[in-house]
Chain A
Amino acid sequence: GQNIDQPTEMTATEGAIVQINCTYQTSGFNGLFWYQQHAGEAPTFLSYNVLDGLEEKGRFSSFLSRSKGYSYLLLKELQMKDSASYLCALPTGGGNKLTFGTGTQLKVEL
């Protein structure tokens, strides 16, 4: 099966930049998703990388290297509301389901 690894917790300061890494062991998939999940709420879609490289979307950017089995989510100009769990997910089963990492709990402090 797929081993998807993310750090369990990270802490960063308001206004700073934080990078959340995701590594995995799999092949033959199409891209990688990042979702944000606030406590007690549904996961919300952040980004989908299908090709290698960096995709920028406002304060959030996501990077993928398929050959290295590596992705990261970059959050700039951190705000308190960015405190949440960040989940990376791989399309598996022919792309018809998502296999999620356990998520990284980000805490943004003053």
Chain B
Amino acid sequence: GAGVSQSPSNKVTEKGKDVELRCDPISGHTALYWYRQSLGQGLEFLIYFQGNSAPDKSGLPSDRFSAERTGGSVSTLTIQRTQQEDSAVYLCASSFRLDTDTQYFGPGTRLTVL
């Protein structure tokens, strides 16, 4: 079946603009995760959803970052007033359930803030 998909694949924006990144998880997966990967850095956890609920938002770097999930499916990650340090690849993953179930990753959105 189809894997995790993300859009756009690339996004170039100017400092101070808002951006929205979209993730479509694998059908039937209840858990969804957002990570980001900066150049030379490991994957950094941002947030996860169980259904439409996000119990742990501690990984979000600042209050400029927010995420939502609707219908237990699609999720959007919004970054307001983007800064150059937000430039990274934003990866989405999904799993059938929480609690150490294998996470399957999407291709990512490469965000460049000029």
Residues of A within 8 A of B (CB): 4, 30-31, 33, 35, 41-45, 48, 50, 87, 89, 91, 93-103
Contact = CB atoms under 8 A, between A and B. Distances in A.
Nearest to A32: B100
Nearest to B89: A40
B99 A97 contact: no
B41 A102 contact: yes
Contact of B45 (A42, A97, A101): A97
Contact of B42 (A31, A41, A45, A101): A101
A31 B91 contact: no
Given A100-B42, A102-B42, A95 B99 contact: yes
A99 B31 CA distance: 16
Interface stretch (B61-69, B79-87, B101-109): B101-109
A42 B100 contact: no
Contact of A94 (B44, B45, B91, B99): B99
Contacts of B59: 97
B113 interface: no
A33 B59 CA distance: 20
B99 A99 contact: no
A2 to B, nearest CB: 11
Contacts of B45: 93, 97-99
A96 B108 contact: no
Given A48-B102, A96-B98, A43 B43 contact: yes
State the 7 A-B residue pairs at the shortest beta-carbon distance, nearest first: A42-B105, A102-B42, A100-B43, A95-B100, A91-B100, A100-B42, A95-B99
